[in-house]
Structures are given as structure tokens and as C-alpha cells.
Amino acid sequence: MEHFQLIQRLHTDVLKDKYGKIKAKVIKHTNKIRKAHLIDPKGISRTFALTFFPTKPQTNEIKIINQEIKEGGAIGKTFRKHKFQIRKNVLDVYIIELPTWLKKAFKTKSNFAKARISQFLAKKKSSTPISYGTVVEIYSPDFRPPIINNTDISQISASTKTLIKVKITINQIWNRIGKEKPSKNQEKQYNQAKKLSLPLVFKLKEKIKKEIKNK
């Protein structure tokens, strides 16, 4: 199975290669949260995604994109259609226990699945990157087995908020994504930011557990 791609190539691209045409089935989309399945041609969910939106106001262009996503567009595909470059800032990869309703949606007997928390960053050529939201992807065990590999671990970074707090700019964050390691002069800052991110990631996991408890 292809490793998770941090730059440009979308999760839906990888799903399409394995299962065929993929469509989003939106369960809920408010100004705070989105819940959606990525469904294959057989009607089986291959990924359940939660998106937690930031509280700051969206630009007019992002409002248009958000409306298209609300109406059933996949997040990455919709941003790409609007000529945005895309990168994912991974906060954690872990194993999550599946509730009964999600096991049914995945058509799996497995009690566990791999989950990934990442910040969805997007930008146009001369613009500053923006964070559309924090996306949680819970993968069907048929697509990605519930195993954490070395690539998963190597991709885990710190939140943009804590990175900015330790004096790393959003453009530096963007440029660093996809590289094996931060530059030597940034390594201490990244390690510090990772530690500062731990409470945030813990709270996110608790929030995720609560959100998926009931369908």
C-alpha cells in the first residue's frame, strides 16, 4: 500500500487507484465540524473523515470552496479544482477502536482501525498558506490495516499554532512538509513545538472519541 502523501497527491487519488471512483457522502457540515464518508462504487465506506474548522472568518474564496465541499465535494479535490496547492501537516497517527456503526459502514469484522490527524494546508503560488481545518481520517482496515509503520511515525510534526509560537513561520512550515527532517537550526524548535502540541493532540483524541461514539 502506498504511504500517506503529504504533498499534492490526494487521499481520494489513492482510494480511486484501489477501488475505482470515490464519492463523498456528507453526514454533517456546520461552521464547526464536518462528518463524511468516502464511498466506493459498491457503497462501502473506505474512509470516515471528521474535519474540525478554525474559528477565524473565511475569505470569500474559501467560503465558495467550503460551500462546494458542504454540497458533497471532497475537500482535496475541491481545493485542487480551484488551483490551490495542498499539503498536510500530520499531528498524530494512532489506532482507534471502531464503534459498531462504523464497522458496518466499513463492512469489516475488525474492532480497530488506523486514524490520522492532520492540518489541511492550502495556498496559491504567491499567497500565504491557510489552514482549512484539522482533518481526522479513519481508514477502513481493508484499505489501510491498523498498523503504525516507520513512515507514519516520521511524518508526525507539531501543530502550526505551536510551531508559530516557537518562531517558525507558516511559510517555513509549508516548505518543511515532506522533508525527512527539519534543518539543523530548526530541529530544536520543532522538538519543542512537538512537546507543546501534546495537550492539543490529547484533547483532539478525546473529542474524536466523543464524536464517533454515536452515528
**Which pLDDT does position 2 carry in this prediction?**
61
Name the phi and psi angles at 87, rounded to 5.
Answer: -140, 150
Residue 23 bridge partners (DSSP):
39
Predicted pLDDT of residue 126 = 82
The reported pTM is 0.93
pLDDT band at 162 (very low <50, low <70, confident <90, very high): very high
Helices and strands, counts by H and E, the chain: 8, 6
Per-residue pLDDT at 114: 97
pLDDT over 90 at 44, yes or no: yes
Q: Do the Cβ atoms of 47 and 212 come closer than 8 Å?
A: no
Please write the tens of the pLDDT for every residue from 83-123: 999 999 999 999 999 999 999 999 999 999 999 999 999 99
Report domain extents, the chain. 11-157
CA distance 50 to 134: 8
- Fold classification of 11-157 (topology level): Chorismate lyase (3.40.1410)
Task: Note the pLDDT tens digit of each residue in 48-78.
Answer: 999 999 988 788 999 999 999 999 999 999 9
Give pLDDT, residue 181. 66
The candidate with the shortest Cα–Cα distance to 8, out of 76, 90, 104, is: 76
Q: Residue 61: which region, alpha, beta or left (left: phi > 0; alpha: psi -120 to 50)?
A: alpha
